[in-house]
């Protein structure tokens, strides 16, 4: 474990908690893409199948449980508890264009042609594009609530910090995983536009609004 | 196929 990975995990956990609290407290999922949250639930499910078979550490196991539980809770709130506030008309990204190519790619490019490894690879590829429906929805509605932009910022920063974690691990542990690194780079690049808007607008107290 | 490695990251 190194500081970048730890801060990355904290940032990821914060994003998940921010979103849960936003929806629960405001009893509304307005402006939130249910499709992205569905994709994240798939990402965690396919990535943590070794949750009960491969014990790494208490930290690792407990974080995995929190991620899986909170992602399902978020999906449940959007599609069940507060579905009346779900803005389906603006959450129209075709997720099959994300799931099919990443599934095919995980069969073609992986570390090991075994079910668990292919599912892990699929989850890595899917996570890199899972935020697209949410970013698409923000661009369609032309703006996002400030709390939603904090959620997106924390979520984007987590994988950016993981990139530094991989540099660190390559330097000091002779460890690197090209699949995770390339997917992490794609994931971070997708946030660049949002990072720019967040830093130039939200941090100056303005509302995040995209040129529609 | 690149070598599989221990999945110690989240």
Asked if the structure places residue A210 within a domain, the reply is: no
Contacts of residue A117 in chain B, CB cutoff 8 Å?
4
Asked if the structure places residue A98 within a domain, the reply is: yes
Structure token digits, residue A135? 């970013």
Structure token digits, residue A76? 């449940």
Task: Give the total residue count for chain A.
Answer: 212
Asked if the structure places residue A30 within a domain, the reply is: yes
Tens-place pLDDT, residues A1-48: 999 999 999 999 999 999 999 999 999 999 999 999 999 999 999 999
Asked if the structure places residue A138 within a domain, the reply is: yes
The residue range of the domain holding A72 is 3-205
Tens-place pLDDT, residues A81-99: 999 999 999 999 999 999 9
Asked if the structure places residue A212 within a domain, the reply is: no
pLDDT at residue B1 greater than cutoff 50: no
Asked if the structure places residue A211 within a domain, the reply is: no
Contacts of residue B9 in chain A, CB cutoff 8 Å?
5, 162, 165, 180
| DSSP letter, residue A142 | S
- Give the ipTM of the model, two decimals please: 0.86
3-state SS assignment for residue A144 = strand
Q: How far, in whole angstroms, is CA B6 from its chain's centroid?
A: 4
Shortest Cα distance, chain B CAs vs residue A89, angstroms: 33
The answer to whether residues A137 and A148 touch, using CB atoms and an 8 Å cutoff, is no
| Domain total of chain A | 1
pLDDT reported for residue A210: 77
Asked if the structure places residue A87 within a domain, the reply is: yes
Q: Is A173 exposed, middle or buried (0-12, 13-18, 19+ CB in 10 A)?
A: exposed
């Amino acid at each position: 474990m190194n500081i970048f990975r730890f801060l990355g995990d904290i940032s990821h956990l914060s994003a998940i908690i921010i979103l849960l609290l936003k929806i629960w407290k405001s009893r509304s999922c307005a402006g939130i893409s249910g499709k992205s949250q569905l994709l994240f639930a798939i990402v965690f499910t396919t990535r943590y199948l070794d949750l009960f078979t491969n014990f790494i550490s208490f930290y690792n196991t407990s974080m995995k449980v929190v991620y899986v539980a909170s992602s399902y809770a978020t999906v449940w709130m959007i599609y069940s508890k507060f579905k009346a506030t779900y803005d389906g008309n603006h959450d129209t990204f075709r997720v099959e264009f994300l799931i099919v190519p990443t599934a095919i790619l995980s069969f073609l490019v992986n570390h090991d042609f075994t079910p668990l490894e292919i599912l892990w690879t699929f989850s890595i590829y899917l996570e890199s594009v899972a935020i697209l429906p949410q970013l698409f929805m923000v661009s369609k509605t032309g703006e996002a609530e400030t709390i939603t932009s904090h959620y997106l910022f924390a979520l984007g920063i987590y994988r950016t910090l993981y990139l530094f974690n991989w540099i660190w691990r390559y330097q000091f542990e002779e460890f690197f995983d090209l699949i995770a690194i390339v997917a992490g780079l794609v994931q971070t690049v997708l946030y660049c536009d949002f990072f720019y808007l967040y830093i130039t607008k939200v941090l100056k107290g303005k509302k995040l609004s995209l040129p529609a | 196929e690149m070598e599989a490695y221990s999945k110690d990251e989240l």
